[in-house]
Amino acid sequence: GEGLPRPEQTRVIVVANQKGGVGKTTTTVNLAASLALHGARVLVIDLDPQGNASTALGIDHHAEVPSIYDVLVESKPLAEVVQPVPDVEGLFCAPATIDLAGAEIELVSLVARESRLQRAIQAYEQPLDYILIDCPPSLGLLTVNALVAGQEVLIPIQCEYYALEGLGQLLRNVDLVRGHLNPTLHVSTILLTMYDGRTRLASQVAEEVRTHFGDEVLRTSIPRSVRISEAPSYGQTVLTYDPGSSGALSYFEAAREIALRGVGVHYDASQAHIGA
Ligand code: ADP
Ligand code: MG
């Protein structure tokens, strides 16, 4: 990697949007791989029972594998479930297995049910620059655990009709968690995904999102790219599957922008390594 500035403390970034199919998982794994390729140490926590992030990172997550379920429900130390991601140095994953589907219910009766992930992360001793948490498409206890554990929320938005619909509910939940459980939580980043600049709809939605969220929207947006959608079936991120593709370059650039913002360095889009 080219060696971006590393954060002084671990940045815990929650990738959330209760809509399915907007690019949460794709964004989590590809940003994580990009940050690792830039030289950072990065942990992906898969908090979706579907386990798509684990699959995309080539991580074994069949039913018997120690997983984030064991951490949340059985209080197993996070270090005992973390696996290194093959092919990407500095990248790690805490996988999700199908067990996690029951956790939403099982957590209800446990003590400190909203802060179990936070505690597990606080007890994790390996040095990390970033933790990226891939949330399920709902606002239940799993997502609440992520919001309590994180400092930053990253919302991927797909540039289509109704892109902003339902976001109010997520933003209210962020406010509630900030008010009651986690004063440092804030929406730090909006990322436009599956962006097709040739269509009027996409550029109209992008403009609407920029008007609504302002500086939180990354200058870099992610284009619709077949290579991005193919990579998971090879257990790879697009960064290793096709490093020269527009999808890989745009995630790499988005990661650079996130890293620079984190240390307060102005991001100059004219210096982008790709046309934004
Ligand atoms: P979520 O986690 O929000 O449900 P995913 O990341 O799984 O969304 O993305 C939904 C689908 O869209 C997946 O099939 C994924 O491969 C595809 N996809 C995501 N981003 C892109 C992109 N930029 N270009 C093409 N396909 C994409
Ligand atoms: Mg997903």
Q: Give tens-digit pLDDT for 204-248.
A: 999 999 999 999 999 999 999 999 999 999 999 999 999 999 999
Residue having the nearest C-alpha atom to atom 4 of ligand 1: 21
The ligand 1 atom at the shortest distance from the C-alpha of residue 223 is: 23
Work out whether strand 42-46 and strand 91-94 pair parallel, antiparallel, or are unpaired: parallel
Q: Is residue 68 part of a domain?
A: yes
pLDDT at res. 1: 47
Distance 50 CA to ligand 2 centre (A): 7
Ligand nearest to the CA of 247: 1
* Residue 269 resides in a domain: no
* Mean pLDDT confidence for 136-148: 96
The average pLDDT across 126-133 equals 97
Distance CA 233, CA 254 (A): 23
Task: Output the pLDDT for position 276.
Answer: 37
Q: Judge whether 111 lies within some domain.
A: yes
250 C-alpha to center of ligand 1: Å? 14
List the residue whose alpha carbon is closest to atom 27 of ligand 1: 229
Q: Is 20 in the pocket of ligand 1 (CB under 6 A)?
A: yes
Q: How many domains does the chain have?
A: 1
Residue 179 domain-assigned (yes or no) = yes
Q: Is the beta carbon of 120 within 6 A of some atom in ligand 1?
A: no
- 4: in domain: no
Residue 274 has pLDDT above 70, yes or no: no
Rounded CA separation 244/246 (Å):
7
pTM, entire model: 0.96
Q: Pairing between strand 152-158 and 130-134?
A: unpaired
Q: Whose CA is nearest to atom 11 of ligand 1?
A: 21
Q: Are 123 and 10 spatial neighbours (Cβ–Cβ below 8 Å)?
A: no
Q: Which domain holds residue 226?
A: 11-262
Query: Rounded to the nearest 5°, which phi and psi values hold at 195?
Result: -80, 125
Tell me what the mean pLDDT of segment 141-154 comes to.
98
Classified as helix, coil or strand, 246 is helix
> Which pLDDT score is estimated for 244?
97
- Cα–ligand 1 centroid distance for 136 (angstroms): 13
Query: Which is the closest atom of ligand 1 to the Cα of 20?
Result: 4
In a domain, 272, yes or no: no
Interval 58-84: pLDDT, tens: 999 999 999 999 999 999 999 999 999
The answer to which of 2-16, 57-71, 171-185 has the lowest mean pLDDT is: 2-16
Is 41's pLDDT higher than 90?
A: yes
CATH number of the domain within which 168 lies: 3.40.50.300
The ipTM assigned to this model is 0.99
For residues 28 and 148, is the Cβ–Cβ distance under 8 A? Answer: no
pLDDT digits (tens, 9 = 90+) for 82-126: 999 998 999 999 999 999 999 999 999 999 999 999 999 999 999
Residue 3 lies in a domain: no
State what percent of residues in the chain have pLDDT above 70. Answer: 97
Ligand 2 midpoint to CA 27 (Å): 9
What confidence score (pLDDT) does residue 263 get?
A: 81
Q: Is the pLDDT of residue 10 over 80?
A: yes
Q: Separation of 48 CA from ligand 2 center, angstroms?
A: 7
Of 144, 149, 206, 202, the residue nearest 176 (C-alpha): 144
Is 15 inside any structural domain? yes
Nearest CA to ligand 1 atom 20: 23
Ligand 1: distance of its center to the CA of 181 in Å? 31
In whole angstroms, give the CA distance from residue 180 to residue 235. Answer: 39
Look-up of token digits 């593709």: 245
